[in-house]
Homo-oligomer: A and B are copies of this chain.
Amino acid sequence: MGKLLEQVSSPYDLKKLPVPQLQMLADEIRQLILDSVSKAGGHLASNLGVVELTLALHYVFDFKKDRLLWDVGHQCYTHKIITGRKDKFAHLRRADGISGFPSPAESQYDQFTVGHAGTSIATAIGMALGEQLQKNTGYRIQDTEKKPATSDERRETNKIVVVVGDASIVNGVSFEALNNLGLVKRQLLIVLNDNSMAIDATVGAMAKYFSKVRLSQTYEDLRKTTSNILEHLPGIGKSVEEAMERIKKSIRMVLPASQMFESLNVPYFGPVDGHDIGSLIKLFSALSQLKHPAILHVYTKKGKGFVPAGLQPGKFHSTGPFKMNGDQVQTLTDKDRPTFTDVVGKHLIELAEKDTRIVAITSAMCDGTGLPEFRKRMPERFYDVGIAESAAVDIAAGLARAGARPVVCIYSTFLQRSFDQIFQEVALQNLPVVFCVDRAGLVGADGPTHHGLMDIGFLRMLPNMVLTAPADQIEVRLALEFALAQDKPVVIRYPRDLVPPQKFVRAACSEPFRLGKSVVVRRAKGAPIAIVSYGSVLTEALKAAGLLAQEGLPADVINARFAAPIDQTIIALLGQGKGIITVEDHNLACGFGSAVLELAAAGNATSRKLDAVRLLGAPRRFIGHNSRKCQLMEAGINADEIVRTAKEMLVENQVGI
């Protein structure tokens, strides 16, 4: 750890340093981030870009009482390092360490646990309205801080700052919030951190607009803008409004201020250099005096200070462990098999080469959903709409209505944002849109904001939707072929994981998918129990069956393949007197097992005898950052838990043996 950083354990230590030393501190922090992320993986490029910005914010504001909100949240590493968490930073994203996102449970300096983009402006508006309300009505804030400031202190000085990226601000939720910013009649500073990159390069008209502005700027221009703002901002007591007008006018001479924000009636300042700590400090000091919301547009360089990240910010957006080999980055993974994502990406290309109706759509997740090669090979059939999951689904619906075969590739957790569009524009119209739901299930180090544990539930309520999940590499291909041949919407879910080793591939899993039909993967003569798995957890089901067999307890293993519709033959097992254990990488509530229960209770099965249905899945609580394997263990979604459950059923419930 660098010498200056050793002295800084809180923002108060930071404030003791003279401004000229802050750049040195920034360099030390950058080194710590690089060291830690190279070991543990994490969000690299975005964090390297905001070191100076974060230091300047903490230098000016006092976020023990002021409020700092990070949009998306993955760029909070510097913030964590200087708010008492530098020692735990080596254990970033590990079960025994700190999370990679803001976390009020970790620190009073964090306001919201976030990981999805575009929400911070709206939550900041809410917090500002709460403060206004407190003043107007005199209600007392029930303070959640460990050391609460007195009500008077907070009433006088509480400021709110939001840092939002150029990729997040184009999200619909951001826009809805900006459109309502007029509700706020007090200070609220929005720092627009413009690095022209989301996970992938930001797309869309607003991004083009930003980029046009950006390209027309020289460093000299940025300095001029900065001094211009500083020159005209009023001292305390002077008329803020008048000064604002002067600034606006003079900035307009340098550069047309952002029309977007002006048309939304949001005072806009900038752009300024986001790596010039001294100027940022002056700007924040001045802007903090405003009595109304304002936007400061700041340019930063994603991956600054680490050449490979600067060159490939997409790759280093969220990275696994790596090490430097001279100038070369060497990725450290034990990846001897492809991921489900890799396999989906590969087969989509092959299928799209044969069927020109196939179109791939994603929302700022091209790399993450395995589509870079698709984009390269078939750019005219690839659409990245930016962080706009809702619009992505509606555009897909329109494409399907016009005869195309859209494949929407979005992470399960982000697809939650498209629920209403999947309902109205896809399911209600019964349009053939295919959803490749990546990172479905527990996701590992990203933790609770990123788990995909609800997709089966919210999607299986929708009439017309077919829900399927491949168990292995071969089934990925079969599921895609099946999905693209349907005249209705089909969902394919798969985890953030490697495909199972080849030895797990079963002959039964090579049969083509037939709507609503499961396959028997292992049949044990006279088995009293059937393990019915949905998706890639088939490997755990097979392991469990193997372990049970070793103890002389035979069990069938069934690969359900479909969560909607459920195969009636699964229900029929109950009529044969078998006990059923359902296994899924999803919430127990509303999941695959729940669907099995509903059908069994519906009375149209051969038997409604339900004495022996047990569900395995994630419990109804948030599961923290950890390795995916540990999370599956914690949730009881693995072979050991299947074995334990099977034994319990056999002993306690006297399932026929």
Point out residues on A near B: beta carbons under 8 Å.
Answer: 104, 111-116, 119, 122-131, 133-134, 136-144, 170-183, 203-206, 208-209, 258-260, 262-266, 355-357, 359, 380-381, 383, 385-386, 388, 390-391, 394-404, 406, 414, 416-417, 419-421, 423-425, 428-429, 448-449, 453-454, 457-458, 460-463, 587-590, 593-595, 597-598, 600-603, 608-611, 613-615, 620-622, 648, 653
- CB <8 Å contact, A613 and B610: yes
- CB <8 Å contact, A209 and B263: yes
Other 16 A-B pairs with CB < 8 A, given A125-B391, A176-B388, A205-B264: A112-B429, A123-B395, A129-B359, A130-B398, A139-B357, A139-B403, A171-B176, A177-B388, A177-B394, A177-B395, A180-B386, A182-B208, A259-B262, A416-B420, A454-B461, A457-B458
- CB <8 Å contact, B180 and A204: yes
**Contact (A615, B598) CB under 8 Å given A126-B395, A130-B404, A263-B260:** yes
Report how far A205 CA is from B125 CA in the complex, Å: 14
Report how far A140 CA is from B356 CA in the complex, Å: 9
A446 shortest CB reach to chain B, Å: 13
- CB <8 Å contact, A400 and B622: no
Contacts of A208 in B (CB 8 A): 182, 265
- CB <8 Å contact, B179 and A388: yes
A650 shortest CB reach to chain B, Å: 13
Contacts of A133 in B (CB 8 A): 356-357, 359, 380-381, 399, 402, 404
Contacts of A419 in B (CB 8 A): 416-417, 419-420, 458
Contacts of A457 in B (CB 8 A): 457-458, 461, 590
- CB <8 Å contact, B179 and A402: no
- CB <8 Å contact, B401 and A111: yes
Contacts of A111 in B (CB 8 A): 401
A102 shortest CB reach to chain B, Å: 11
Contacts of A613 in B (CB 8 A): 601, 610
Partner of A112, one of B355, B401, B406, B448: B401
Contacts of A129 in B (CB 8 A): 359, 383, 395, 398-399, 402, 404
- CB <8 Å contact, B139 and A173: no
Report how far A258 CA is from B262 CA in the complex, Å: 11
A389 shortest CB reach to chain B, Å: 8
- CB <8 Å contact, A381 and B594: no
- CB <8 Å contact, A172 and B390: yes
Contacts of A141 in B (CB 8 A): 402-403
A425 shortest CB reach to chain B, Å: 6
Report how far A560 CA is from B457 CA in the complex, Å: 22
**Contact (A126, B406) CB under 8 Å given A177-B394, A457-B458:** yes
Chain B's closest residue to A419 (CB) is B419
A610 shortest CB reach to chain B, Å: 3
**Contact (A356, B139) CB under 8 Å given A394-B177, A420-B417:** yes
A160 shortest CB reach to chain B, Å: 9
A72 shortest CB reach to chain B, Å: 11
- CB <8 Å contact, A113 and B429: yes
Partner of A397, one of B112, B139, B622: B112
Report how far A127 CA is from B428 CA in the complex, Å: 17
- CB <8 Å contact, B139 and A421: no
- CB <8 Å contact, A589 and B598: yes
Contacts of A258 in B (CB 8 A): 263
Partner of A454, one of B263, B401, B423, B449: B423
Q: Which 10 A-B pairs have the closest CB atoms?
A: A126-B398, A172-B172, A130-B402, A122-B394, A141-B403, A610-B610, A176-B391, A176-B388, A259-B263, A137-B356
Contacts of A402 in B (CB 8 A): 126-131, 133-134, 141
Report how far A458 CA is from B124 CA in the complex, Å: 26
Contacts of A398 in B (CB 8 A): 122-130
A104 shortest CB reach to chain B, Å: 7
Chain B's closest residue to A124 (CB) is B398
Partner of A380, one of B137, B144, B589: B137
- CB <8 Å contact, A385 and B180: yes
Task: Give the most central of A123, A172, A403, A615: most B CB within 10 Å.
Answer: A123
Contacts of A610 in B (CB 8 A): 600-601, 610-611, 613
- CB <8 Å contact, A119 and B421: yes
Report how far A401 CA is from B114 CA in the complex, Å: 14
Report how far A113 CA is from B429 CA in the complex, Å: 7
What are 13 contact pairs spanning A and B, CB under 8 A? A112-B425, A126-B399, A133-B357, A170-B179, A172-B175, A172-B390, A180-B395, A182-B205, A205-B263, A258-B263, A259-B260, A423-B454, A457-B461
Contacts of A381 in B (CB 8 A): 133, 137
Chain B's closest residue to A610 (CB) is B610
Report how far A130 CA is from B397 CA in the complex, Å: 10
Contacts of A403 in B (CB 8 A): 130, 134, 139-143
- CB <8 Å contact, A428 and B622: yes
Contacts of A390 in B (CB 8 A): 122, 172-173, 176, 417
Report how far A209 CA is from B620 CA in the complex, Å: 45
Chain B's closest residue to A607 (CB) is B611
A647 shortest CB reach to chain B, Å: 13
Contacts of A454 in B (CB 8 A): 423, 458, 461-462
Chain B's closest residue to A649 (CB) is B603
Report how far A594 CA is from B595 CA in the complex, Å: 8
Contacts of A180 in B (CB 8 A): 203-205, 385-386, 388, 391, 395
Report how far A131 CA is from B593 CA in the complex, Å: 42
Chain B's closest residue to A602 (CB) is B615
**Contact (A401, B123) CB under 8 Å given A461-B457, A589-B598, A610-B601:** yes
Contacts of A130 in B (CB 8 A): 398-404
Chain B's closest residue to A113 (CB) is B428
A607 shortest CB reach to chain B, Å: 9
Contacts of A265 in B (CB 8 A): 205, 208-209
Contacts of A209 in B (CB 8 A): 263-265
A73 shortest CB reach to chain B, Å: 10
Report how far A206 CA is from B264 CA in the complex, Å: 6
